[in-house]
Structure 1
Amino acid sequence: MRKLIVKLFVLAVVVLALLAGAIAWVVQAPIAMRHEQVDFTISPGSSMRSAAREIAAAGAELQPWLLILLGKWMRVDTSIKAGSYEITRGITPLELLNKLTRGDVTQSELVFIEGWTFRQMRARLDAHPDLRHDTEGLPEAEIMRLIGAPESTAEGLFFPDTYYFAKRSSDVDVLTRAYRAMQHHLLREWQARAVDLPYADAYQALTMASIIEKETGRPDERPLVAGVFVNRLRQGMLLQTDPTVIYGLGESFDGNLRKRDLLADTPYNTYTRPGLPPTPIALPGLASLQAALHPPATEALYFVARGDGSSHFSPTLDEHNRAVRRFQKGGKP
């Protein structure tokens, strides 16, 4: 009897060893795939069973029961992460399961550039192939409502940066992140602002920063440009900045700013209306925000482009006129 028990025990051990070996081989054998690369998306709240079916439907010849049993055996069957995934030939069921539980999702990126308008932002969003275009065609005010912003006008309220996201993410999510990033930077700079600035609130500072962004050809001149505009506001002078006029012209601007454009009154014409325009005119970067809220002490009230990307700054109108003749009209100073 004892010999029978020993034999049965040995047989059981052998069977278990063979079973363990078979399982080890199965979970570590490469998954057959119909293509070199397979992309799939796991929706939030998906079970291991639905995830396995999604992966199989995408082109991986994986038996769903294998992933389900492996997940239960490793006690991670409820730990898979939602998102977009990418797998290539050679991946094993065990590596796939680890990928799903780590949330090793594929990412795309989208760059918003300093100086862009909201219209340019929307064009880039709508053209991105990896986004879900939930805001396409929506009015601006509705978009702001969707991202939870109290403002109804979107211009200038999104921080220019590179944003990474899982494929098939909503463009609403990207816009929300960009909006919150701008609020974060603006609030921080506003709280640390210089004293006695001529802004009623942080939004006016943002508007000034957007003008600085569009007026500046050289990064090192942002503070000087800010100093000029702050001085002009303090003295009640017109800002007289071309980028605001161009923004007010909208899509009718053909690239050539004419004298009649400078005389045509719009809410954004700072040649005809005092103070700041009603909204920002573009996306300001962090350097422009800092310049607007920490302008250097300067006596300059004017500046003119030299033609090489830099500007000449002047404290008086006479000096400014001489600089205009020298750098823009080809005359002598």
Structure 2
Amino acid sequence: MSKLPDFEAWAVFAKVVETGSFARAADELDMSKATVSKAVSRLEARLGTGLFHRTSRRLSLTESGRNALERAGRILAEGEAVEAETAAQSAIPRGVVRLAAPVSFGLLHLADILPDFLARYPEVTLDVSLADHKVDLVAEGFDLAVRIAQLPDSSLLARKVCDMRVMLVGAPRYFEAFGKPQHPRDLVQHRCFTYANADNPGLWRFTDANGEETSVNVEGPMRVNSSESLSPSLRAGLGLALQPEFICWRDLQAGTLETAMCDWRPPTPALHIVSPPGRLRPVRVKVLMDFLAERLSAARWETGL
């Protein structure tokens, strides 16, 4: 099998002719003069003929050099052109980005801001998958995922956007009928809705202002795999639940739900944008990550906007 042509040496040869000297070619190519000279010598050795007449005062082409110059110039020009064109294209966000996000958060908050992203980057196509189970970014081919969790150590790259408060909530009518719990141990007397995707759905953990930790096993009439689906039953006064603020904030503002046991905090997850290992990301992925971080850090469930 024949060897590939020495494209670098041909491009160096053309640059030497273009600039008129080895030294000026070296400056333009950001190479040492010795490296430029070796590239031309390597090419001459491979061809078995000289390309330049060299004297202490001038540099001129041999007949072989003159015959090769036009095509060598095309090699240099095409190489410069393809690099410039590819660099320009890579600077423009375009192509498909696959994004995964939890169902409730995706419907309540992510969906509202994606039209602005598409308007800003019209050549980017989004492939959005909403699911409450943890997707495998690498195996399933996702570029990014929005995750609300206390993330374990992993090879994935995670960018924290903001903390996400979780609170114990119920309807005023529930508290009128059954009273408000004051301590986690009181919850064994209450009807508690649970979230099936938690590590241990029936075990609720809390920490007080002094750092005291406690946990309690709870029971209730319903377990769901989407926290948003609990909202109607909570408003109807049928039980209590630990709800993320991004789901219940409007009900809290409207007074249809109230918080309880505010001196005790459940574990606080954070909103992260997670991507597969590797620091190099296509520009289409980077601009989406920056956009999500910018827009989701201004949490409207906290500002009330």
Asked if TM exceeds 0.5, the reply is no
Tell me which of the two structures has the higher relative contact order, counting C-alpha pairs closer than 8 angstroms and 6 or more residues apart.
2
Q: Normalised by the shorter chain, which TM-score bucket?
A: under 0.3
**Structure possessing the higher radius of gyration over alpha carbons:** 2
User: Which has the larger share of strand?
Assistant: 2
TM-score norm. by structure 1 comes to 0.25
